[in-house]
């Protein structure tokens, strides 16, 4: 009788534990949201959803000097792309340049958002078409001059810029362990590949066969022959204000802080 009663009590405890665990799992499923940080239009224009980016950031250590340098470099490259495309949109009246210039401005803002999150002072953007680095300024001037010759040269220049971004983002990703930097760079890389696909479409329509400069022919062929990338789903904190912990970081990161423990 005692054994039987003990078994009943034990069974009741197990059932109760399972019910509590099930309830916690349901609560977690209801509370946790996932979302993409990318918005991709039909023509391939790819923008960062800033509210989702904020929510996807996690707590990390401070940026290293090399990570900060990479972010500042990519900030300049995104500005370069934005400014070149903005000039070409006005000169040539091509909608693809208008759309992608706006997307590059959005990418620029995403990098500034991350720099701000870590308390960096390297957040200034400056006047359109003006760069503090003499080499970047010369590159900008040369690209605008070359691209202004014809619509064909403009699309070739667009493809060249996106190639450059792809190469530099790929290198930067190998040199960081920071989850937030990786998140931003991975999504900007998807955006650059999508924009390269968009410019390739325009060149193909004109009957132009583009020869890549910064990536291999095999990599280029693989990119332009594949579908536009939508981006993966990230855990959201549900409030649109998740900020990674870093030097000067002030927001809350996406730590698992629910009350149910398994």
C-alpha–C-alpha distance, residues 127 and 125, integer Å:
7
CATH number of 34-236: 1.20.1260.10
Q: Which two tokens stand for residue 253?
A: 């990161």
What SS3 class is residue 129?
Answer: coil
From first to last of its 262 residues, the chain has per-residue pLDDT tens of 444 444 444 444 444 444 444 444 444 545 678 999 999 999 999 999 999 999 999 999 999 999 999 999 999 999 999 999 999 999 999 999 999 999 999 999 999 999 999 999 999 999 999 999 999 999 999 999 999 999 999 999 999 999 999 999 999 999 999 999 999 999 999 999 999 999 999 999 999 999 999 999 999 999 999 999 998 999 997 544 334 444 444 333 444 323 343 3
Buried b (16+ CB within 10 A) or exposed e, 46-81: bbbbeebbbbbbbbbeebeeebbebbeebbbbbbbb
Tell me the angle at which helices 95-117 and 151-174 cross, rounded to the nearest 10 degrees: 20
Read off the tokens for 8: 């009943």
- Model confidence, pTM: 0.81
């Amino acid at each position: 009788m005692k054994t039987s009663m003990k078994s009943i009590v034990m069974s009741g405890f197990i059932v109760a534990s399972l019910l509590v665990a099930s309830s916690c799992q349901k609560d977690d499923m209801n509370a946790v949201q996932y979302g993409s940080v990318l918005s991709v239009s039909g023509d391939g224009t790819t923008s960062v959803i800033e509210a989702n980016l904020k929510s996807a950031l996690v707590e990390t250590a401070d940026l290293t000097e090399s990570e900060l340098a990479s972010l500042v470099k990519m900030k300049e490259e995104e500005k370069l792309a934005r400014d070149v495309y903005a000039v070409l949109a006005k000169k040539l009246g091509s909608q693809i340049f208008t759309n992608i210039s706006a997307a590059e401005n959005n990418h620029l803002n995403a990098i500034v958002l991350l720099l701000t999150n870590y308390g960096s002072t390297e957040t200034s953007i400056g006047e359109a078409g003006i760069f503090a680095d003499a080499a970047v300024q010369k590159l900008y001037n040369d690209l605008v001059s070359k691209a202004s010759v014809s619509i064909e040269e403009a699309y070739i220049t667009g493809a060249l810029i996106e190639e450059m971004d792809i190469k530099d983002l790929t290198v930067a990703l190998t040199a960081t362990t920071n989850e937030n930097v990786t998140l931003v760079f991975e999504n900007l890389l998807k955006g650059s590949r999508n924009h390269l696909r968009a410019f390739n479409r325009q060149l193909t329509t004109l009957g132009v066969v583009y020869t890549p400069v910064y990536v291999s022919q095999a990599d280029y062929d693989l990119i332009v022959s594949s579908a536009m990338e939508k981006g993966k789903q990230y855990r959201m904190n549900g409030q649109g204000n998740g900020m990674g912990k870093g030097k000067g970081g002030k927001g809350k990161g996406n730590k698992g802080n629910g009350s149910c423990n398994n």
